[in-house]
């Protein structure tokens, strides 16, 4: 570009200079021709007139030359001003281009940083979701183990009940046999009566023992039922906690965060339909910016994870949770 400017700046002055010199040569040639013509035509006595004409022609030539020089200077000045204006505009365009490139570079840096932060948030959400899944799997294994223990206890209780019924049947049969023999031996000696009474006392104690065992079995079954109920409650709470963690992860994925939210949080109240549709999302306490972002994230999700089990849904249809941006 500078070479083109240099060539154009040289070409015009050279052209102007050549034109001026050609003009001067033409004027001098015409003046000389006119001088010699007049000298040939004019009589000898009038020799002073051509001298005067030549002097006048030289003045015209000088004036014309001066005029051409002035025009050359004016043209050079205009050309210099034009070149300066072009250079000024080129410099302004260069600066504007550099500013635009710097701005685009900064925007690219910010975009890449945002992508990195978004990927980190996604990875963290996946990690937490995997932890929640592992916890749920562990809880399921524990439930299966408890269920197996419960079935074993029920089988043991059934065996004990069968044994008790067999003992009762045997006792009933023995009692009938005793009565029959008592009727037959009613008239026997007093020793036999005493023996019968002793036998009756033994049977009475056996009956009391059987009753005591029956009560112990009932107590054991009640305790087992309480254990089963407690296990079920723990399972329900575990399921509630698992789905609550999934809800938090869903909100985090839809949460739009910035640096001003670091270390801040918001307590949200959420009411859910049975299919997970959010019917209410209210900010109860916390930073205003975080609360607005959390509510927007919940609204964007539309539906949140909800357990298909009615008992778990009853525990989590209205939840309070704290949203804290993961920055």
- What is the C-alpha to C-alpha distance for residues 301 and 283, in angstroms, rounded to an integer? 16
Residues 260, 289: contact at Cβ < 8 Å? yes
- pLDDT number for residue 26: 57
- pLDDT number for residue 320: 93
- What is the C-alpha to C-alpha distance for residues 288 and 21, in angstroms, rounded to an integer? 84
Report if residue 60 sits inside a domain: no
What is the CATH classification number for the domain harbouring 282?
Answer: 3.30.1150.10
Q: Read off the pLDDT of residues 86-144 as tens digits, 9 standing for 90 and up.
A: 888 888 888 888 888 888 888 888 889 988 888 888 888 888 888 888 888 888 888 89
- pLDDT number for residue 38: 44
In the 8-state DSSP scheme, what is residue 186? T
Residues 65, 20: contact at Cβ < 8 Å? yes
Report if residue 27 sits inside a domain: no
Report if residue 275 sits inside a domain: yes
Report if residue 247 sits inside a domain: yes
- What is the C-alpha to C-alpha distance for residues 301 and 278, in angstroms, rounded to an integer? 9
pTM of the model: 0.35
Find the domain containing 308 and state its range: 241-323
Report if residue 45 sits inside a domain: no
Low pLDDT (below 50) residues in the chain: 1-11, 13-14, 27, 32-51, 53
Report if residue 24 sits inside a domain: no
- What is the C-alpha to C-alpha distance for residues 205 and 203, in angstroms, rounded to an integer? 5
Residues 176, 203: contact at Cβ < 8 Å? no
Residue that is written with structure tokens 């010199």 in the block: 21
Report if residue 93 sits inside a domain: no
- pLDDT number for residue 22: 59
């Amino acid at each position: 570009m500078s070479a083109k400017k240099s060539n154009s700046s040289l070409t015009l002055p050279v052209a102007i200079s050549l034109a001026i010199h050609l003009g001067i040569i033409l004027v001098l040639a015409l003046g000389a021709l006119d001088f010699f013509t007049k000298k040939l035509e004019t009589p000898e006595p009038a020799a002073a007139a051509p001298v005067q004409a030549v002097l006048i022609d030289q003045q015209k030539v000088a004036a014309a030359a001066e005029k051409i020089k002035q025009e050359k200077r004016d043209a050079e000045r205009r050309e210099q001003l034009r070149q300066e204006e072009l250079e000024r505009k080129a410099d302004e365009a260069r600066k504007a281009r550099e500013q635009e490139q710097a701005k685009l570079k900064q925007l690219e840096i910010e975009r890449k940083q945002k992508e990195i932060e978004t990927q980190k948030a996604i990875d963290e959400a996946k990690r937490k979701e995997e932890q929640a899944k592992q916890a749920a799997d562990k809880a399921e294994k524990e439930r299966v183990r408890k269920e197996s223990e419960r079935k074993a206890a029920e089988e043991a209780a059934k065996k004990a009940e069968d044994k008790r019924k067999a003992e009762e049947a045997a006792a009933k049969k023995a009692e009938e046999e005793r009565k029959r023999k008592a009727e037959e031996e009613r008239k026997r000696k007093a020793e036999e009566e005493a023996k019968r009474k002793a036998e009756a006392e033994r049977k009475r104690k056996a009956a009391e023992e059987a009753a005591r065992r029956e009560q112990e079995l009932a107590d054991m079954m009640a305790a087992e039922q309480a254990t089963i109920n407690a296990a079920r409650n723990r399972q329900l709470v575990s399921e509630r906690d698992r789905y609550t963690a999934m809800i938090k992860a869903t909100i985090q994925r839809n949460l739009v965060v910035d640096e001003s939210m670091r270390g801040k949080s918001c307590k949200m109240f959420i009411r859910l339909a049975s299919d997970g549709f959010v019917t209410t999302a209210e900010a109860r306490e916390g930073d205003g910016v975080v609360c607005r972002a959390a509510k927007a994230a919940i609204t964007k999700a539309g539906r949140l994870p909800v357990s298909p089990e009615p008992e778990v849904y009853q525990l989590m249809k209205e939840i309070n949770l704290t949203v804290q941006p993961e920055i």
